Each structure stands twice: as structure tokens, then as C-alpha cells.
């Protein structure tokens, strides 16, 4: 946890561009955006992946905040993509659960 990049951002040990922060969840701009708008919705509490979530409050905080943020920024007008990469084959690179909220271009299906 001490070495976790998102825990460090939550503590203010490394900088990030915050769009929202409260005691349960924060929203930052992705360092390496894959769309014109690419945000990360991150619970403050360290949970490694979606497969490790036991408290449903985690789901309500990140899903609720993602949709609230999408509406607040007007991303709902054209649409958006929400993704939670989970584990090695799921493409997860940071082992602290986070939801990608992306918007501003067309997203293909099936995903790569
Ligand atoms: P994952 O691959 O785990 O689904 O997503 C991790 C995301 O975190 C990637 O999109 C990556 O660009 C982003 N990321 C990694 N390190 C940092 C950082 O220090 N700051 C920010 N803002 N994003 C980061
Ligand atoms: Zn963490």
C-alpha cells in the first residue's frame, strides 16, 4: 500500500490533476489519456482489484461518482465508455481498483 501509486496520489505524495475528491473516492485525469477525456475514478480505500471487492459501498461510490462526473462534465450528451480492467489478462496495470471513464471519440466493440 505504501508503494501503491493511487494510495500515494490519495495522500498527496505525488501530484495529480483532481476533478473531484471526498473521503471515499477521488477522480483524476489519466496521465496517459486514451481519449479526449480520460478520467480515473478511484476509491480512497486500497482494494487490489474488482475481484477483491467485498463491501458493496465500493461499487456505489465509484459507479455513482462516475455517472455524476459524466453528467457534470456533459459527457452523457455524446456518450462515454466505462471500463474496469481486472487482473493480468484483464489488462490491469495498477493494483488498486479504478474505473476508467472515457469520452470524446467513438469506442469500438469488441474491445482490444
Ligand atoms: P489499468 O491499466 O490498471 O487499467 O489503468 C491504470 C491507469 O493509470 C493507466 O491508464 C495509466 O495511464 C494511469 N496511471 C498510471 N500511473 C499514473 C499516475 O501516476 N497518475 C495518473 N494520473 N495516472 C496514472
Ligand atoms: Zn492503493
Amino acid 2: pLDDT: 79
Residue 77 in grid coordinates:
450528451
Average pLDDT in the 34-60 region?
97
pLDDT in tens, 71-97: 999 999 999 999 999 999 999 999 999
Ligand nearest to the CA of 96: 2
Q: Kindly give the distance from the C-alpha atom of residue 49 to the centroid of ligand 1, in angstroms, as a whole number.
A: 14
Q: HEC profile for the chain?
A: CCCCHHHHHHHCCCCCCEEEECCCEEEEECCCCCCCEEEEEEECCCCCCHHHCCCHHHHHHHHHHHHHHHHHCCCCCCCCEEECCCCCCCCCCCCCCCEEEEECCCCCCCCC
**Pick the catalytic residue: 20, 38, 46, 98?**
98
**Active site annotation includes 38:** no
Name the pTM for this structure. 0.98
Confidence of residue 112 (pLDDT cuts 50, 70, 90): confident
Amino acid at each position: 500500500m505504501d508503494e501503491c501509486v493511487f494510495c500515494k496520489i490519495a495522500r498527496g505524495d505525488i501530484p495529480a490533476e483532481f476533478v473531484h475528491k471526498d473521503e471515499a473516492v477521488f477522480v483524476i485525469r489519466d496521465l496517459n489519456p486514451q481519449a479526449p477525456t480520460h478520467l480515473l475514478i478511484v476509491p480512497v480505500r486500497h482494494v487490489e482489484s474488482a475481484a477483491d471487492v467485498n463491501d458493496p459501498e465500493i461499487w456505489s461510490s465509484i459507479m455513482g461518482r462516475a455517472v455524476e462526473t459524466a453528467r457534470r462534465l456533459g459527457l452523457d450528451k455524446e456518450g462515454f465508455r466505462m471500463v474496469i480492467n481486472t487482473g493480468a489478462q484483464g489488462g490491469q496495470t495498477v493494483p488498486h481498483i479504478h474505473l476508467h471513464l472515457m469520452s470524446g471519440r467513438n469506442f469500438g466493440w469488441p474491445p482490444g
